A = this chain, B = another copy of it.
Amino acid sequence: MFQDFKLVGDRPVAIQVKEYVKRLIIKGALQTDQKLPSTREMSGLLKVSRNTVIAAYEGLEDDGFTYAIPGKGSYVAAMVGQSAVDNGGADGSAWQIDWKTRMNEYAVSAVELDMMKQGIRAPKGTISFTSIAPDEQLFDLGNVRRAFMDRMAIEGQVLLNYGYAKGYKPLIDYLMHYMENKGVDISGKDMLITGGFTEGFDIVLSALRPSARRGAAICENPTHHTAIKNLKLQGFEITGIPMERDGIDVERLEAVLQTNSFDLAYLTPSYHNPTGIVMSPAKRSAVMKLMMRYQIPVIEDGFNEELRYSGSHIAPLIATAGQGNGVIYIGSFSKVLFPGLRVGWVLGDRALIDTLESIKRARTIHTSTIDQSILYQYLLNGNFDKYVKKARTEYKRKYELTKACCEAHLPEAQLSGDGGLHLFLTFPTGVHTRQLLEACTEQGVIFTPGDKFFIQEGEGTNTLRLGFSRVTDENIERGIQIIGKQARSFLKA
């Protein structure tokens, strides 16, 4: 025995010895009340220092795997409860549950609607336009480290104990101020910090979903596929309104509102995903007047509002509403800053936020205090403004390069996208972008087929989304050239 002990490089040796002996006890290689080798013997057997063995033996006793008899040594404690059912099962076999039969509709749909699980697996070296995550090469790690150390120095232990469901107070105050600077009237409003946009959206939907019947939601078509997923999972029927060059088709919207009733509207007025369109000021005011007339709560997706490359600042819908409380704004810096920091915020009517706070507490207690405090200190240190300036410059350059390449190599496709980290292409009907994707994949290029952003099966089969944030200039050119070549062969056919 003790011949198969192997040290691994990166962990304290005493702990490795302790765990090695635990395994022998659990496997039954060491029996209850059996005496362990003396610390001297063991250090010889395992070729580790005697102090290491002494520490390991202490650990075993602390964890209740051994007991010591003073002057005699360490003995294996009774391993109680081990595999009681294995032995107990009538035929000695282990207890099996067929979990598939236990899963409800929600769980089954969550898997069916999980795009990550149907995502395109591409070989290394593939040029991928599928991501709209930020380019991590831009991340200013030094400032993030400093933000963490600064905050730890100021608050210390408090950051590691329980926080508040509503969020980290200094961050809430900062973001309220931040939203005021976008023109939002914050009187009568409050904020809930969440683990990103998705949690905020799902919590809001879970509160607004009707108890008795299925919910009814209205949104732009196409729209963010995660939003479509969450709406469906929360039991909403979705009515999509087509997009025009300057945003949602207001006449269609009004027509639908006249004939149907809705529990909520989900809108992305700036750098809409996937079309990248910015809703014009005229339409913003027209849409808001309609929502007011028909009393339909608006969930506004603040999604990379910060990634504006040109034109003047356009106030979000929640600013347009002034003192009105009909808009719930969900913000996040995931696309402009660091997605790994899971922080987003829900800004809305104070009474509403108070209810959402209780739902947040019931679901996750509170958002990571470390993430919130790092983000807060990073903002406070003024790193955010500098970083966004740098990121905007870089992304704008890539945006223009991508646009130029599309105009050169994909003249047949209609382009949209006024900012953000992606462009949206619409081909003449007949070009099926899923078939195009297959052809391109063989040539080592992938993108996101647009149909998955549409509400109804079979819509948008001639569209695709190009995310450029994580593609090199060279690959942007090569990739789009390849897509262009494949597209033309489809157009000929």
Q: Which residues of A contact B (CB under 8 A)?
A: 10-12, 14-15, 18-19, 22-23, 26, 59, 62-65, 67, 77-86, 88-89, 94-97, 99-100, 102-108, 110-111, 113-114, 116-117, 133-134, 136-137, 139, 141, 144-145, 148-149, 152, 156-163, 165, 177, 180-181, 183, 185, 195-196, 198-199, 202, 206-211, 226, 229-230, 233, 263, 281, 284-285, 288-289, 291-292, 295, 297, 308, 311-315, 319-326, 338-342, 349, 351-352, 354-356, 358-359, 361-371, 374, 380-382, 385, 388-389, 392
How far, in whole Å, are A271 and B366 apart by their CA atoms in the complex?
Answer: 24
How far, in whole Å, are A78 and B349 apart by their CA atoms in the complex?
Answer: 28
How far, in whole Å, are A351 and B160 apart by their CA atoms in the complex?
Answer: 34
How far, in whole Å, are A195 and B78 apart by their CA atoms in the complex?
Answer: 34
Tell me which of B14, B97, B137, B152 contacts A326 (CB under 8 A).
B97
Tell me the interface secondary structure of chain A in the complex. Answer: helix
How far, in whole Å, are A68 and B370 apart by their CA atoms in the complex?
Answer: 40
How far, in whole Å, are A103 and B354 apart by their CA atoms in the complex?
Answer: 12
24 interchain pairs, CB-CB under 8 A: A14-B382, A23-B181, A80-B312, A80-B314, A83-B319, A88-B285, A89-B292, A94-B321, A97-B295, A102-B208, A103-B207, A105-B211, A108-B355, A111-B358, A117-B358, A136-B158, A137-B157, A141-B160, A145-B152, A198-B362, A202-B362, A229-B362, A342-B366, A342-B368
How far, in whole Å, are A82 and B63 apart by their CA atoms in the complex?
Answer: 64
Tell me which of B139, B291, B355 contacts A111 (CB under 8 A).
B355
- Known interface pairs A88-B285, A208-B102; A326-B96 also in contact (CB < 8 Å): yes
How far, in whole Å, are A292 and B93 apart by their CA atoms in the complex?
Answer: 11
Tell me which of B23, B59, B196, B308 contacts A385 (CB under 8 A).
B59
Inside 8 A of A367's CB, which chain B residues have their CB?
A: 195, 342
In the complex, what's the smallest C-beta–C-beta distance from A293 to chain B, in angstroms?
9
- Known interface pairs A161-B340, A195-B364, A362-B114; A85-B181 also in contact (CB < 8 Å): no
Inside 8 A of A211's CB, which chain B residues have their CB?
A: 104-106
Taking A83-B320, A85-B289, A370-B374 as given, write out 8 further A-B residue pairs in contact, using a Cβ cutoff of 8 Å, ordered by the A residue number: A59-B389, A79-B313, A84-B281, A86-B324, A104-B208, A161-B340, A342-B366, A368-B370
Tell me which of B210, B323, B363 contacts A94 (CB under 8 A).
B323
Inside 8 A of A83's CB, which chain B residues have their CB?
A: 185, 319-322
Please state if A339 and B162 are interface contacts (CB–CB under 8 Å): yes
Please state if A96 and B183 are interface contacts (CB–CB under 8 Å): no
Inside 8 A of A107's CB, which chain B residues have their CB?
A: 206-207, 355-356, 358-359
Tell me which of B22, B117, B355, B371 contacts A370 (CB under 8 A).
B371
How far, in whole Å, are A260 and B340 apart by their CA atoms in the complex?
Answer: 46
In the complex, what's the smallest C-beta–C-beta distance from A417 to chain B, in angstroms?
17
Please state if B292 and A322 are interface contacts (CB–CB under 8 Å): no
- Known interface pairs A12-B382, A110-B362, A365-B342; A325-B99 also in contact (CB < 8 Å): yes
Please state if B162 and A133 are interface contacts (CB–CB under 8 Å): yes
Inside 8 A of A158's CB, which chain B residues have their CB?
A: 136
How far, in whole Å, are A103 and B352 apart by their CA atoms in the complex?
Answer: 8
- Known interface pairs A12-B382, A99-B352, A198-B363; A82-B183 also in contact (CB < 8 Å): yes
How far, in whole Å, are A322 and B292 apart by their CA atoms in the complex?
Answer: 60
Chain B residue with the shortest CB-CB distance to A107 = B207
Inside 8 A of A365's CB, which chain B residues have their CB?
A: 195-196, 198-199, 339, 342
How far, in whole Å, are A319 and B82 apart by their CA atoms in the complex?
Answer: 6
Please state if B385 and A369 are interface contacts (CB–CB under 8 Å): no
Chain B residue with the shortest CB-CB distance to A100 = B351
Please state if B77 and A313 are interface contacts (CB–CB under 8 Å): yes
Inside 8 A of A14's CB, which chain B residues have their CB?
A: 382
The 7 closest A-B pairs by CB, nearest first: A84-B285, A95-B324, A64-B313, A12-B382, A77-B312, A80-B281, A86-B322
